[in-house]
Copies of this chain bind each other. A is one copy, B any other.
Amino acid sequence: MASTVLPLHPSQGSTCGKCPRNELCYARFLSYAKSVEQLDFQVSNRILHRGDHVFYSGQAFSALYMVRSGHVKTVMVTEDGEEQITGFSCPGDSLGADGLASGHYAVDAVALGTASICTLNFEHLLRNTARKEELQRLMLSMLSETILNNEELLLTLGKLDAQQRMATFLLKQSSAQQRNGCSPVSFTLPMSRADIGNHLNLAVETVSRLLTQFRQRGLIKFNRNDIEWLDIDTLTDLTNRREYATAAPLVTNNFLAHG
């Protein structure tokens, strides 16, 4: 329950060039950088635990953040206290850009488990980027990627039904794993069913039912939050094609009754 913003293991002044996981952060943005050497951000790093905040909604903006390891959720809150998870971040993802324009972060960023977070002081960053076009491109690219992610989420939530959203979500987690050098068919979901439901605008019960249904159809194997295997091809099909013929009796799977 206890949360904190204070650095637990601060390591001031280290540079990304020396970070053993720097390709992770750089890889996403290298199309705009001529070489990794040019992108030597000065960062401080801290370790957070489950429930700790990277930053709070409303807090004064001072830095951008990168997830180095672990997972973070970003949560926006309505006036009457309802929460909406706008995204899950994994290693290599940036955080905090929504606070830049207004000067205050717009969401809570909360660690889902133990996580290592790098802090990029904004003023410091600006001074350094002022003479390095490559760094500028990288910064802008970070924000642009966030915009793209949110637009894709809007499309997912707006045009897909519950089943398609769930399949899309699983595939997204899968490819995030792969991008970070892990198996795309075997990994652990870092968030609860409730978090998934909140994020996808589905009731927890619906999430549970869909996962069970996918398992019964042989599309995934899992135990609690440990995904042991997923049928990427079939799940991909699900995200596109709309299930044809819902009508008449035939609901969901009458072919079983007939066989």
Contacts and interface: CB of A to CB of B under 8 A. Distances in A.
B129 A136 contact: yes
A131 B76 CA distance: 35
Contact of A151 (B132, B150, B241): B150
Interface residues of A, number: 53
A82 to B, nearest CB: 5
Contact of A98 (B136, B137, B144): B144
Interface string A65-88: 000000000101011101010100
A153 interface: yes
Contacts of A107: 151
Interface string A105-135: 0110000000000000000001101111100
Given A78-B159, A158-B157, A86 B151 contact: yes
Contacts of A155: 76, 78, 84, 86
A157 B154 contact: yes
B100 A151 contact: no
Contact of A147 (B29, B97, B201): B97
Given A107-B151, A130-B130, A146-B147, A242 B80 contact: yes
Nearest to A146: B147
A240 interface: yes
Contacts of A29: 101
A192 interface: no
A99 interface: yes
A61 to B, nearest CB: 9
Interface in A234-248: 240-242
A169 to B, nearest CB: 14
B106 A148 contact: yes
Contact of A131 (B74, B130, B145): B130
Given A31-B103, A102-B144, A150-B154, 15 more contacts: A74-B151, A84-B154, A84-B155, A84-B158, A86-B151, A97-B143, A100-B143, A106-B148, A126-B136, A126-B137, A130-B130, A130-B133, A130-B136, A147-B147, A154-B157
